[in-house]
A and B are shown apart, each in its own frame.
Chain A
Amino acid sequence: MPTPDPATQLEMYRRMLRIRRFDETVKTLFDRGRIPGSVHLSIGQEAEVVGACMALRRDDTMVGNHRSHGHPIGKGAALGPLLAEILGKATGVNGGKGGSMHLADFSVGSLGESSIVGSGLPVAVGAALGAKMQGSDRVCLCFFGDGASNEGYFHEALNMASAWQVPVVFLCENNGYGVTTAFGRISRVPDVAARAAAYGIPGQIVDGQDALAVHAAVGQAVQRARDGAGPSLIEAKTYRYPHHSEGPLYDAIAYRDASELAAWQARDPLPLFARHLEDTGIADAATLTGIEQAIAAEVAAALEFAQQSPWPDPAEAHRGLYRTPIAGFDHA
């Protein structure tokens, strides 16, 4: 994969920053009790999200998981309706029916996010298979965590995708922990990518803090899928700075060292990428500051939109169960 042109690289930086500021805003709102349920932030993982998403065409599809605010943003979704959804507002992408763990923005090919760990893997295979049967060259990108790689779904999905040469790219966002359980404690094999061999597909480890590295690896896998050569497995080694989910639950549990967090933060994808942009002359400090300001304004506008948006009509809870209506149910 050729290195993306400067404009694309600047856009990658924008999207990474958008995800960071978006999730920081979500955290603030959650801490103030403004968001019901739970939220799972991807702060720290922005490089792999954007690197992967920007290797896709707009009409390609993708499937997310429970830690997925960033995925539609990486694919180019507008922030307002995403944040409104997380607040449960009528203007949310799902009309307030899904919330943080089920953001779907079909307008950018985001086919939804399932919070049952691993369940998106076969769905992504199906979306890719459907595209192939329709004679299109669309590819489906499947995001999943290291935890999902231990679900039976992982095996079934990779096996089927490989047997049928389905145009899907499996991207394991290995952030080291399934909730509090370190990957190394529940897998004798240290790398998820090694499992690709069992399915006769390429498996590759990539530095998840390096957006360009992820972009190159995923881009190659996407091209391979588009060309009809079948699926690939890419494992992005990354880290989430927050806990599994927000709230005080995990603060008291010593499941990871402060030094480990600090080591990952020393390679924070945002400053890494900013430095790269400066070193290569793509952006100077003033440009980067301009981007910072523009993204801050964008997120502020999204927050304003979400906060000002109305709550859904309570009657809406009783609509939309079926697409082909049946008696006894109210439908929009």
Chain B
Amino acid sequence: MRELTFLEAIREAQEQEMARDPRVFILGEDVSFNVYGSTGGLADRFGLERVRDTPISESGFTGVAIGAALVGMRPIVDFTIASFMYLAMDQLVSMAAKTAYMYGGQAHVPAVFRAALFYNGGLAAQHSDRNYAMFMQVPGLKIAVPSCPYDAKGLLKTAVRDDDPVLMFEDGALWGSRGEVPQDDYLIPFGQAAVRREGSDVTVVAIGSRVREALTAADTLAREGISLEVIDPRTLVPLDRPTILESVAKTGRALVVDVGHKSCGVAGEILATIAEDGFWSLRAPLRRLTAPDMQIPFSPALEKGFYPDAAQIVDAARRLLRE
């Protein structure tokens, strides 16, 4: 089967959805010139009305997307960098997330908000956020974090067709990665985790690019006779709790790996689920590997080691088996 990069998969999903549904349009900074590579050729094919360059007005264009969605359009907002979502925080939290509920079902907001995570690249504190956990605190949003090109296309298509606001976080570490992506139309349902590798000793729940690290760790440990089960939630809201709990019931050990911060993070949420509903199958303490609760420094020498990698997963899994 043909391979695409993660970014090409995103581009293809957008192109197909725009061709399928005239209500779909793209809104964001510098989208027509394809500066970041996810909109190549779309302006030529669909015109500048539907591939709409915005001023640098994040809260403004987020509100525009919400207003357009209220009258029946299906916008895709490109935030370019997830750190910029803070400028649009009020619209995302006060409007996008609350509209359907607050207006008693008279309206809904079928908009997609794409946000790229560019950590580990020397972009320093204000451009390196991995902030999906913040939005998990906001009822009414759905959150997808794909880990491979195939999922990027399938989840984005589902997001466009979903009637609720969806935040899609694209891990910059994956943008250039290649994988099999069918040309045809396919959807990946929200709330269905993928078991990326079956195993019997430790359940590793990995988010976004950490799936790759977990699979590398699993290869390493397999040579020692240690068997990791690697689970990729794919969407954090909805979170596929049953698949995670089923896995922990089998392995008795759980480790969550995330490039986000530790406190009140995705890992903590997943571990809490296991502690609440899977406690009696546990044979070892619950563990998480995350970025530290620090701001992201600029120098590569300082940022090095901030994000859990395969080696750390290997160590953690070994420790869990001894505990």
Known: A126-B70, A127-B67, A130-B67. A98 touches B104 (CB 8 A): yes
- B101 CB–A CB distance under 8 Å: yes
Contact A126 B100 (CB under 8 A): no
- A213 CB–B CB distance under 8 Å: no
Docked complex Cα distance between A9 and B170 (Å): 56
- Distance of B235 from chain A, by nearest CB (Å): 9
CB-CB under 8 A from A133, the residues of chain B are 25, 49-50, 68, 73
- Distance of A11 from chain B, by nearest CB (Å): 25
Contact A111 B73 (CB under 8 A): no
CB-CB under 8 A from A332, the residues of chain B are 105
- Distance of A33 from chain B, by nearest CB (Å): 24
CB-CB under 8 A from A124, the residues of chain B are 67
- The contact string, 1 if C-beta is below 8 Å from chain A, for chain B 56-84, is 01011111111111111101000000000
CB-CB under 8 A from A106, the residues of chain B are 103, 106-107
CB-CB under 8 A from A126, the residues of chain B are 63-71, 75
Docked complex Cα distance between A119 and B95 (Å): 8
Known: A106-B106, A153-B60. A127 touches B71 (CB 8 A): yes
Contact B140 A97 (CB under 8 A): no
- B303 CB–A CB distance under 8 Å: no
- A220 CB–B CB distance under 8 Å: no
* CB proximity to B under 8 Å, residues A199-225: none
- Distance of A97 from chain B, by nearest CB (Å): 5
- The contact string, 1 if C-beta is below 8 Å from chain B, for chain A 153-194, is 100110110011000000000000000000000000000000
- A145 CB–B CB distance under 8 Å: no
Docked complex Cα distance between A84 and B103 (Å): 14
How many positions in chain B have a CB within 8 Å of any CB in the partner chain? 49
CB-CB under 8 A from A159, the residues of chain B are 55, 57, 60
Chain A residue with minimal CB distance to B189?
A326
Chain A residue with minimal CB distance to B242?
A327
Known: A104-B107, A157-B63, A159-B55. A321 touches B100 (CB 8 A): yes
Known: A106-B106, A328-B238. A152 touches B59 (CB 8 A): yes
- A323 CB–B CB distance under 8 Å: yes
Which listed residue, A61, A119, A138, touches B91 by the CB 8 Å rule? A119
- B198 CB–A CB distance under 8 Å: no
Contact A129 B107 (CB under 8 A): no
- Distance of B156 from chain A, by nearest CB (Å): 15
- Distance of A250 from chain B, by nearest CB (Å): 25
- Distance of B108 from chain A, by nearest CB (Å): 4
Chain B residue with minimal CB distance to A152?
B59
Contact A125 B142 (CB under 8 A): no
- B99 CB–A CB distance under 8 Å: yes
- Distance of A121 from chain B, by nearest CB (Å): 7
- A229 CB–B CB distance under 8 Å: no
- Distance of B27 from chain A, by nearest CB (Å): 9
Tell me which of A92, A96, A129 has the highest count of chain B C-beta atoms within 10 A of its own C-beta. A129
Contact A324 B164 (CB under 8 A): yes
Contact B103 A104 (CB under 8 A): yes
* CB proximity to A under 8 Å, residues B175-205: 190-191
Known: A93-B104, A106-B106, A160-B64. A127 touches B163 (CB 8 A): no
Contact A156 B103 (CB under 8 A): no
- B139 CB–A CB distance under 8 Å: yes
Q: Which residues of A contact B (CB under 8 A)?
A: 61, 63, 92-98, 102, 104-106, 111-112, 114, 116, 119, 121-131, 133-134, 138, 140, 152-153, 156-157, 159-160, 163-164, 320-324, 326-328, 332
The 7 closest A-B pairs by CB, nearest first: A126-B67, A122-B63, A156-B60, A94-B104, A95-B104, A323-B163, A130-B68
12 A-B pairs with CB atoms under 8 Å apart are A63-B67, A97-B102, A111-B71, A111-B107, A122-B57, A122-B59, A123-B67, A126-B75, A130-B71, A156-B63, A159-B60, A323-B164
